[in-house]
Structure 1
Amino acid sequence: MKLASVHFYPVKSTMGHDVPEAEVEPWGLKDDRRYLVATPEGQMLTAREEPRLLTCRAEVSGGTLTLTGPHREPLRVTPTALLTEVRVWRTEVKLTDCGDEAADWLSALLGRSVRLVWLDDPTRRPVNPKHGTPQDRVSLADGYPVLLASTTSLDRLNDWIAETAVERGEEVPAPLPMRRFRPNVVVSGVEEPFAEDGWKRVRIGEVDFRVTKPCDRCVLTTIDPDTLEKGKEPLRTLAKYRRIDKQLLFAVNLIPDGTGVIRIGDPVVPS
């Protein structure tokens, strides 16, 4: 087994970056999901509610964030010194506001008033204590620092989706790309589909991770990131084949037990 691809997302729910290597920090890949978009009242927003976030590209260079979108010229973001509380799922997190210019740029993109906020101190947000230790931290990812997916599992899922379409007399859709699932690391060479569900630990290159639990998938996976159209897949097929404890599962969540650099082609060794 080997590491097939590496991905990170500087602003939660915006376009991802495919990179040849990434630095693993205790709370996730370097620069992954350190920013998010929130309402003025302090409620997190994602592409689940605002699919147009998927048209925004965020790049980090020299510690500076630049936003690019279809509606305006690119914007370099300068965070303020103002801390504000934002509700990230069920947790209130202190985040740094990124100023009126960034707010105006994103509000124009989404057609509603929003703010951009930054997790300046990544030690502020703990992981769910049910699946981690009191010392574990996470950036602004949904719940855990790193998401791992397997190409073998995606191939099986796409086969199931095609079979479901045939059974229903529908046109067989094009296979879903991995980016629908927004993983950080993708592994190839796994012998059996969904074998990763049973892993307890995994070593990627020289970095060790704990496998916490399979990932429950949501409506975001049904949005085509190119057209923003919503469909029924993959949730319809996951509900048929991968519904476990009322959750629709694909990919697994990881917590780093060390730091270092992971690279495409690195060996992947589960245990």
Structure 2
Amino acid sequence: MQLPTVERIRTYPIKSLDGAERERAELVSGGCLAGDREFAIVDNEGEYVNGIRTPDVHGLSVSVDRESETVVIGRRGENERREFDLNDRADLNAWLSDYFGFDVTVVRDETGMPDRPDRGPTVISAATLREVASWFGGVTVDGTRRRFRANVEIGGVPPFWEDRLYGADGTRSFEIGDVRFEGDGPCGRCAVPTRDPDTGERTEGFQERFVEKREETLPEWTPSERFDHYYKLMTNTRVPGPGRGETISVGDSVRMLSD
């Protein structure tokens, strides 16, 4: 019997934009993975310019080099790309302001800017992504991965195994490698997964189909008490204690510590 192991780690250097594959990732204060949502685009009011607010974020193709602290960015589907310095972001801000059609600024927080400030990495199983992709014609596994944007994928387990990581009325403890986490419940979803990650176009009937199939396929181990609705997928986590400096890697085993 195959044991649960980390199959993939992905961080999102600029909030709402393209992810980056990682072989290993260190935790920072608060429990986020280093480099995950470290940068974000905000407007003049300090509000995020993200996929919830505008599908235009899907039109950007982005690659961040963490060593040189540069970003290469362009319009998806076009060949022209520009490289910008992430330490001196004036030119990047100007380019993005022109793209969105209003003034924006790229801000930085090395502890990360997840939607929930006390959140650790999000967890999903590779089998879950395959299962969800099978519910929709023309939607690939990688496309499903890019729609739901989890940090850690677990292999060697059945679909929706990640629902085991939280209880009916609280958290459950588990380890990835030597790092302890607490599963904090299923993640409620927004409009982003309903859109094609390349074009930003809405997939007709996506949410309705997802809700129907999620309820229909809910495993016996899933605490149904945590579902006031079925538009939920992947598991939110917290990191008890400081967390800073601890590391998870592809190939790490995953062990439940509490029932």
How does the TM-score come out when normalised to structure 2? 0.77
Distance 1:204 1:237, change over 3 A: same
User: 1:106: which partner in 2?
Assistant: 96
Alpha-carbon deviation of 1:25?
2.3
* Equivalent of residue 187 in structure 2, options 215, 220, 225: 215
Q: Which residue of 2 aligns with 1:44?
A: 48
Asked if 2 retains the 8 angstrom alpha-carbon contact of 1:14 and 1:58, the reply is no
- Equivalent residue runs for 1:180-199 within 5 Å: 180-191=147-158, 193-199=159-165
Q: Which moved more, 1:39-48 or 1:8-17?
A: 39-48
C-alpha displacement of 1:190? 1.5
Residue 37 of structure 2 aligns with which residue? 33
Partner of 1:68: 73
Instruction: Read off the aligned partner of 2:100 and give its amino acid letter.
Output: L
Aligned with 2:124 (options 133, 137, 149): 149
Distance change (3 Å), C-alpha of 1:234 and 1:155 = farther
Letter aligned with residue 146 of structure 1: P
1:246 paired with 2:229, answer yes
Deviations 1:135-190, CA, capped at 9 Å, x for gaps: xxxx211222311111222233234x25xxxxxxxxx3343432221111000112
Moved more, 227-236 or 16-25: 227-236
> Hey, what does 1:132 align to over in structure 2?
none
The answer for the alignment partner of 1:237 in structure 2 is 209
Supply the distance in 1 between the matched residues of 2:67 and 2:191 (Cα, whole angstroms).
Answer: 34
Q: Which has the higher strand share?
A: 1
Tell me if 1:17 matches 2:7: no
Point out which structure has higher relative CO (alpha carbons under 8 A, 6+ apart).
Answer: 2
1:77 to 86, 105, 113: 86
Q: After TM superposition, give the deviation of residue 72 of structure 1 in Å.
A: 5.2
> Where in structure 2 are there 5+ consecutive unaligned residues?
166-171, 216-226
What corresponds to 1:260 in structure 2?
246
Deviation per CA, 1:202-229: give whole Å up to 9, x if none.
2111211111111111111122222332
Amino acid at match of 1:68: I
Assess if the C-alpha contact under 8 Å between 1:103 and 1:115 holds in 2.
Answer: yes
Listed as ranges, the gaps of 5+ residues in structure 1 are 80-97, 123-138, 163-171
Distance verdict in 2 for CA 1:24–1:263, change over 3 Å = same
Report deviation, 1:111. Answer: 2.6
Determine helix, strand or coil for the equivalent of 1:42: coil
Q: How many angstroms apart in 2 are the aligned matches of 1:185 and 1:110?
A: 30
| Conservation of the 8 A alpha-carbon contact between 1:23 and 1:29 | yes
Describe the SS at the equivalent of 2:56: helix
What secondary structure is seen at the aligned counterpart in 2 of 1:227? coil
Q: What is the RMSD of the two structures over their aligned residues, measured on CA atoms?
A: 2.3
Moved over 3 A (4+): none
Partners of 1:218 and 1:235 within 8 A in 2: no
| Paired residue total | 224
Measure the CA separation in 2 of the matches of 1:183 and 1:197: 14
What's the secondary structure of 1:69's corresponding residue? strand
